[in-house]
């Protein structure tokens, strides 16, 4: 069998070890493990070309992969393991901008009718979309001084640490000649495993990554302390940005805020211009942690359940996940007369407060560059339940939005304003149509998980997820394929728990019962419902 090309780079380094192993079984085992680690790095790997659009997304959770992983395993994940912004950040949600973005960060707004399963009081949904004036063809991130802080404790032995080593190889793929990487390991104690090394010396770095072994208990705070100290020293005089990237299967204690705690060091580092990306492997990384991290300037979080997901994220998004676009984003949303704000979805952290006139103010510490168009959604309902909801028309905005932020790179303040113009579902932008389905999903899953875990209402949880699944069976948006898989898995699990397992799934007939003809191809349906009583919608869901 021919030797894989990526293994040839390791062959010479292990030639003597291979010879000795033929006479020593223990050394043969060690050789195979080392060889497996080294061959994971492919020196000829190509970096994926950027996509043709640049957007922006709030910090905090950048995926809901842990939630997906648990649902796939047949569990009903706890609502604390899920954030709407984590769900939204996985999708491209473009709005019809009307004009090109001519500055670093732009926002556009659009609104349409809504009918949310878990929030029937929300009758209109508005999207605040983000884009960037950066040209993807010419964009190049600033040189990066990256300090990887690795949990090598006993709990990381096996698959978790293998995934971390593989992650580091993929990070190495993305580093350029102007970048530098250092590695800090912590178990019983913390130490510098690799001092700052120019990324162009890829073979030396790959060898150091291969040498990471699991041992000891977990001393996360000490590991972070060593990491941040190294980041400060190595960042002094470095012409670029400095970032700590923590890899762990341990859930940090975000309740402690003293100077030596996880949150204390994160905040102190952010004041010194050092960002923090937390990478979770094989552990529950939920909403509480994501909320805490997003309250720190420069903080974001990812969870990698497997190598495939990790490889995809690092190849496609590494440059953007370490690029802070804007700081101290302030949004104020003011509803039109007769309406009130009934929900806000996609804001990381506890950053919402009421303002005069029924308006809300939203604060986001950091906006990251993204290859997708990120979004925040706002739900509107009638200001007085005893009065009819004002009828939305195209020339009457449902609200106004004012935006202010500071450019991360140069500290320059910017501001703008936008109206939330109403569009009926058939004319709404694809981002808003898609986003309406995702908001419905986010609110329905949060409510169903709460019913299951906190109220022991399995029937109520099943009916809610079943209704959502029925809507997804009518939705053909290819971008939402992973969401259909997630919702269908939760539907199956809740069907067993509520006694509905074995019931047939309603499906459209293959032919018309009267004419005998197959159904005509249906136009692409909007998930937004703008007319009709809410109960009628629910009553029709299961009809063939």
Distance (Å) of CA 217 to CA 176, 230, 333, 471:
34, 22, 48, 47
Beta-carbon count within 10 A of 180 CB: 24
* Element housing 52 (H / E): none
| Structure tokens, 381 | 């309902």
Q: Name the residue among 241, 283, 280, 246 with its Cα closest to residue 263.
A: 246
Strand 413-419 to 399-407 pairing: antiparallel
The full DSSP string for 313-375 is HHHHHHHHHT-EEEEEEEEEEEEPTTEEEEEEES--SS-EEEEGGGEEEEEEEEEEEESS--E
pLDDT at 392: 74
Cα→Cα distances 461→26, 116, 332, 465, Å: 53, 15, 34, 6
Query: And the tokens for 543?
Result: 């009809």
Q: Longest Cα pair distance anywhere in the chain, in angstroms?
A: 87
Q: Yes or no: is domain 144-322 CATH 3.90.340.10?
A: no
The distance of Cα 440 from the centroid of its chain, to the nearest Å, equals 18
DSSP state of 185: E
Contact 235/242 with Cβ under 8 angstroms? Answer: yes
DSSP-assigned states of every residue in 375-441: EEEEEEEESSTTSPPPPP-TTS-SEEEEEEEEETTT--EEEEEEE-EE--GGGS-HHHHHHHHHHHH
CA distances (Å), origin 393, targets 105, 422, 461, 496: 29, 6, 36, 45
The per-residue DSSP string of 217-240 comes to ---HHHHHHHHHHHHHHHHTT-SS
- CA angle, 522 then 525 then 529, to 5°: 135
Do residues 452 and 468 touch, judged by C-beta distance below 8 A?
A: no
Q: Which residues contact 336 (CB under 8 A, 6 or more apart)?
A: 390, 396, 397, 398, 399
Q: Report the residue count for the chain.
A: 544
For residue 80, which phi and psi values (nearest 5 degrees)?
Answer: -75, -5
Q: What is the pLDDT of residue 365?
A: 87
CA-to-CA separations, 85 to 319, 364, 439, in angstroms, rounded: 20, 12, 10
Paired tokens of 306: 């497997």
pLDDT tens digit at each of 544 positions of the chain: 444 444 433 433 434 334 344 444 444 444 444 333 333 344 443 333 333 457 777 776 656 777 888 899 999 988 887 888 888 888 888 887 656 777 788 888 899 999 999 999 999 999 988 778 888 788 889 999 999 999 988 888 888 889 899 999 999 999 999 999 999 999 888 999 999 999 999 999 999 999 999 887 778 889 999 999 999 999 999 999 999 999 988 777 666 767 788 889 999 999 999 999 988 886 555 566 767 777 789 998 888 877 888 888 898 889 988 999 999 989 899 999 999 999 999 876 567 889 999 999 988 888 888 877 668 899 999 998 777 777 777 678 999 999 899 998 888 999 888 899 898 888 889 889 999 999 999 999 999 999 999 999 999 999 999 999 999 999 989 999 999 999 999 999 999 999 997 666 555 555 554 445 555 554 444 444 333 334 443 443 344 3
Domain spans of the chain?
5-38, 144-322, 431-504+523-540
Quote the CA–CA distance of 325 and 275 in Å, as a whole number: 12
DSSP code for 199:
T
Cα–Cα distance, 215 to 186 (Å, whole number): 9
d(CA 409, CA 460): 49
Helix or strand run (H / E) with residue 544 = none
Nearest to 331 by CA among 412, 416, 422: 416
What is the DSSP-derived secondary structure letter of residue 493? H
Evaluate whether 208 touches 194 at the Cβ level (below 8 Å).
yes
């Amino acid at each position: 069998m021919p030797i894989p090309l990526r293994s040839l780079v390791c062959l010479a380094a292990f030639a003597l070890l291979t010879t000795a192993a033929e006479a020593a079984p223990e050394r043969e085992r060690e050789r195979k493990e080392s060889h497996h680690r080294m061959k994971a790095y492919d020196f000829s790997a190509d970096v994926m070309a950027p996509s043709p659009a640049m957007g922006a997304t709030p910090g905090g959770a950048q995926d809901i992969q842990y939630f997906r992983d648990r649902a796939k395993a047949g569990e009903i994940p706890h609502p604390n393991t899920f954030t709407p912004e984590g769900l939204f950040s996985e999708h491209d949600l473009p709005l019809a901008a009307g004009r090109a973005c001519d500055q670093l960060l732009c926002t556009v707004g659009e609104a349409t009718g809504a009918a949310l399963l878990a929030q029937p009081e929300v009758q209109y949904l508005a999207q605040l979309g983000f884009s960037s004036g950066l040209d993807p063809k010419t964009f190049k991130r600033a040189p990066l001084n990256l300090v990887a802080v690795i949990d090598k404790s006993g709990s990381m032995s096996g698959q978790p640490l293998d995934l971390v080593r593989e992650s580091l190889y993929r990070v190495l793929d993305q580093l350029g000649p102007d970048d530098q990487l250092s590695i800090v390991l912590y178990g019983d104690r913390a130490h510098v495993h690799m001092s700052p090394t120019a990324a162009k010396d890829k073979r030396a770095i790959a060898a150091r990554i291969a040498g990471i072994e699991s041992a000891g208990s977990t001393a996360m705070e000490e590991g972070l302390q060593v990491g941040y100290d190294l980041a400060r020293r190595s960042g002094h005089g470095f012409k670029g940005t400095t970032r700590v990237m923590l890899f762990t299967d341990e859930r940090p204690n975000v309740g402690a805020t003293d100077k030596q705690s996880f949150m204390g060091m994160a905040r102190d580092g952010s004041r010194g211009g050092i960002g923090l990306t937390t990478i979770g492997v094989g552990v529950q990384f939920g909403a509480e942690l994501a909320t805490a991290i997003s309250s720190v300037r420069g903080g974001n979080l990812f969870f990698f359940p497997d190598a495939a997901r990790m490889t995809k994220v690092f190849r496609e998004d590494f440059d953007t996940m370490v690029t802070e676009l804007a700081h101290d984003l302030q949004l104020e949303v003011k509803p039109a007369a007769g309406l009130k704000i009934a929900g806000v979805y996609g804001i990381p952290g506890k950053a919402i407060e009421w303002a005069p006139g029924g308006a809300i103010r939203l604060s986001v510490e950091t906006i990251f560059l993204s290859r997708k168009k990120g979004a925040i959604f706002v739900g509107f309902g009638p200001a007085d339940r005893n009065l009819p909801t004002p009828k939305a028309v195209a020339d009457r905005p449902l609200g106004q939005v004012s935006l202010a932020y500071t450019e991360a790179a140069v500290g320059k303040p910017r501001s703008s304003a936008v109206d939330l113009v109403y569009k009926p579902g058939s004319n709404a932008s694809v981002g808003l149509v898609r986003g309406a389905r995702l908001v419905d999903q986010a609110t329905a899953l949060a409510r169903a998980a709460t019913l299951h875990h906190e109220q022991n209402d399995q029937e109520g949880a099943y009916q809610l997820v079943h209704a959502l699944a029925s809507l997804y069976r009518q939705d053909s948006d290819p971008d939402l394929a992973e969401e259909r898989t997630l919702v269908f898995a939760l539907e199956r699990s809740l069907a067993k728990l509520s006694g509905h397992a074995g019931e047939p799934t309603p499906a459209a007939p293959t032919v018309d019962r009267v004419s005998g003809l197959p159904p005509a191809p249906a136009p692409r349906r909007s998930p937004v419902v703008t007319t009709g009583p809410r109960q009628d919608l629910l009553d029709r869901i299961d009809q063939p």
